[in-house]
Amino acid sequence: MKIIRFNSTKQLEKIYNRGFVKSRRVQDKVQQIIEDVRLLGDDAVLKYTRKFDKVKMTARQLRVSEREISGAYQNITPNFVSSLKIVIENINRFYRKQLKKPWKMKDADGLILGEIYEPVEKVGVYIPAGTAPLVSTVYMTVLPARIAGVKKIVLISPPDKNGFINPHILVVADLLKVDEIYRVGGAQGIASLAFGTKTIPKVDKIVGPGNMYVSEAKRQVFGYVDVDMIAGPTELVIIANRTSDPKYIIADLRAQAEHAGGLAILITNSKALAKQVKSQLNSHGSIILTKNLEQAAEISNRIAPEHLEILVKNPQRLVKFIKNAGAIFLGPYSPTAVGDYVAGPSHVLPTSGTARFFSGLSVSDFVKSIHVISYSKKALEKVKEPLEKIAGIEGLSQHLDSVKVRFE
C-alpha cells in the first residue's frame, strides 16, 4: 500500500475521479450485443453464451427446470437453510420499516392532493457467478422486491462450464419464491431482460451487480427499463486513529483485497498506525495521512465510498460529518462482512463515487409513487387566474380553454 499525504492533490484527485474512466471498446462491444439480442432474441443469447461461457444450449434449456431446482437441495452445505432463515429475518425486519403508506390532504374548498404507491410489476435480478457465485446477492435483491410487493421476479445468472447454476443460488431463489430462473449472464442477459425474447420475459426494472460488461449494458438499456444503479468494483474506506486496533484494520483491508480491482483505503491522522498497516499489507490500496479526523471525514466525503468503516473510539461523534457513503459501519465490531451477509440492509450499494447521489438498494427502488389530484369546481375557480397567466406566457391557449369550458 502507498502512503498519500492530505496535500497530495494530484493523487487524491485520481481517487476522487475513479469512476470517470470509460472504455470505448467495452461500450462498442456491449452495444453490438444489445442490438443483436434486441433483433435476434434467443438466437443471439445462445450465440453469446457459447462464445463467452463456453456452454452450448438450446432455447428450451435456458430456463432452469423445477427438477434441477429440486435436485439442488441435495448439493448444498449442511444446515445452510437453517442459517439462511436467521439472515432472512434480519433483512425482512429492516425493510419492513421502509414501507410507505398512501397519504392525502384536503382543504375547505374541496381540493384533495395525495400519493398512492404501486410496486413495479416485473423485476429482473442479475446474480454474478464469474469469480465466485454471489449467493448472498440473491436474498439481498429479492427480499426488498418481495416486501415492496413486486408481482413477478425473474432471476438470471451465468452458467458454469457444465451449464449449471450454483445449487446454493438455486435453493435461495426457490425459498424466496423467485418465479423464473434462467442460465444466462453478461450483457446478453441484461439485454434479454430489457427487451425480452421468445423464452426470457421482458421486465420493468433490472437490479443486481456485475462486471464492467454488465454495468455498461445496464447503462445502455436504461430508459427502455429502469435499473438500480451502475455499479463498479467494490470499495472500502476505513477512518481510524491511534486508538484503533491495527489487527481489525489489516483484516478488513485483506478481506477487501479478495475482490478483484476493489478499492481499499485507510484514512488516518496517525503516522504510527499508517506505518504499521503498511508493513503488514502488500496488497493494492492507499493510506491517506490527514491533519485530524474532521479532515479524514472531508476526504471520505469526496471519495464517497461504497463501504465506510469508522474505527475510532467514539464513531458517533464523527458520523455527523459524513455526507456521502453507501453504508457506514460504526465501531470495532461492525466489519463490512456483516453488511455483506447478515446485518439486514442490502449489500447492493453505490460505487465509483455515486454515493453522492445514489442510495443502497431499498424497498423504494421497487415502488412507484403516483400523484393523485382532485379539484372541486370552487377549488378550480381559485386557481383559474394564475393558470390563465402561465398558459398565456407559454402560448398554450387550448390548455386554458380546457379550464374555461368547465365554467360556461
List pLDDT tens digits, range 318-357: 999 999 999 999 999 999 999 999 999 999 999 999 999 9
Residue 99 near residue 363 (C-beta atoms within 8 A): yes
- At residue 9, the pLDDT reads 87
- At residue 77, the pLDDT reads 86
CATH number at residue 163: 3.40.50.1980
250 with 389, same domain: the answer is no
List pLDDT tens digits, range 246-274: 999 999 999 998 887 788 999 999 999 99
Q: Is the pLDDT at 393 greater than 90, yes or no?
A: yes
134 with 219, same domain: the answer is yes
- At residue 1, the pLDDT reads 84
Laid out side by side, the sheet with 367-374 consists of 103-106, 112-119, 367-374
211 with 248, same domain: the answer is no
Instruction: Give the range of the structural domain holding residue 338, as residue numbers without chain letter.
Output: 2-20+233-356
261 with 287, same domain: the answer is yes
85 with 207, same domain: the answer is yes
84 with 6, same domain: the answer is no
Asked if residue 361 is part of any domain, the answer here is: no
Q: What is the mean pLDDT of residues 193-216?
A: 96
Of all residues in the chain, the percent with pLDDT exceeding 90 is 89
56 with 144, same domain: the answer is yes
Q: What is the CA radius of gyration of the chain?
A: 25
List of residues 6+ apart from 19 with CB closer than 8 A:
232, 351, 352, 353, 354
Of the candidates 194, 227, 260, which is a domain's last residue? 227
Q: What is the mean pLDDT of residues 13-26?
A: 84
59 with 183, same domain: the answer is yes
pTM: 0.92
Q: Is the pLDDT at 14 greater than 70, yes or no?
A: yes
303 with 221, same domain: the answer is no
List pLDDT tens digits, range 147-161: 999 999 999 999 999
Which cell is 299 given? Answer: 476526504
First-residue to last-residue Cα distance in the chain: 77
47 with 143, same domain: the answer is yes
Which of 216, 235, 307, 347 is the catalytic position? Answer: 307
Asked if residue 365 is part of any domain, the answer here is: no
What's the pLDDT band for 20 if we cut at 50, 70, 90?
Answer: low
Helices (H) and strands (E) in the chain, counts: 17, 14
41 — alpha (psi -120 to 50), left (phi > 0) or beta? left
Tell me the residue length of the chain.
408
List pLDDT tens digits, range 115-174: 999 999 999 999 998 767 889 999 999 999 999 999 999 999 999 999 999 999 999 999
* Number of domains the chain is built from: 3
240 with 209, same domain: the answer is no
Q: Is the pLDDT at 21 greater than 70, yes or no?
A: no
The SS3 call for residue 374 is strand
Examine the residue annotation and report whether 399 is marked as an active-site residue of this protein.
no
List pLDDT tens digits, range 50-99: 999 999 999 999 999 999 999 999 999 889 999 999 999 999 999 999 99
- At residue 154, the pLDDT reads 98
176 with 237, same domain: the answer is no
Asked if residue 368 is part of any domain, the answer here is: no
Examine the residue annotation and report whether 306 is marked as an active-site residue of this protein.
yes
What's the pLDDT band for 231 if we cut at 50, 70, 90?
Answer: confident
Asked if residue 27 is part of any domain, the answer here is: no
Q: What is the mean pLDDT of residues 200-227?
A: 96
Which cell is 79 given? Answer: 444446515
Which of 168, 216, 235, 306 is the catalytic position? Answer: 306
Of the candidates 181, 208, 227, which is a domain's last residue? 227
Q: Is the pLDDT at 2 greater than 80, yes or no?
A: yes
Of all residues in the chain, the percent with pLDDT exceeding 70 is 99
